[in-house]
A and B are shown apart, each in its own frame.
Chain A
Amino acid sequence: AQSVTQLGSHVSVSEGALVLLRCNYSSSVPPYLFWYVQYPNQGLQLLLKYTSAATLVKGINGFEAEFKKSETSFHLTKPSAHMSDAAEYFCAVSDRWVGANNLFFGTGTRLTVIP
Chain B
Amino acid sequence: SQTIHQWPATLVQPVGSPLSLECTVEGTSNPNLYWYRQAAGRGLQLLFYSVGIGQISSEVPQNLSASRPQDRQFILSSKKLLLSDSGFYLCAWSVPLQTGMNTEAFFGQGTRLTVV
Contacts and interface: CB of A to CB of B under 8 A. Distances in A.
A90 B112 CA distance: 19
Given A43-B107, A99-B51, 6 more contacts: A44-B90, A45-B107, A98-B97, A100-B32, A102-B46, A103-B34
Contacts of B50: 100
Interface of B: 6, 32, 34, 36, 42-44, 46, 49-51, 57, 88, 90, 92, 94, 96-97, 102-110, 112
B52 to A, nearest CB: 10
A44 B102 CA distance: 17
Contacts of A32: 103-104
Interface residues of A, number: 26
A49 B42 contact: no
Given A43-B108, A43-B109, A107 B43 contact: yes
A42 interface: yes
A105 B112 contact: no
Contact of A103 (B6, B51, B105, B109): B105
Nearest to B108: A43
Interface string A36-60: 1000011111100101000000000
Interface of A: 32, 34, 36, 41-46, 49, 51, 90, 94, 96-108
B49 to A, nearest CB: 5
Nearest to B59: A102
Contacts of A44: 44, 90, 92, 105, 107
Nearest to A45: B107
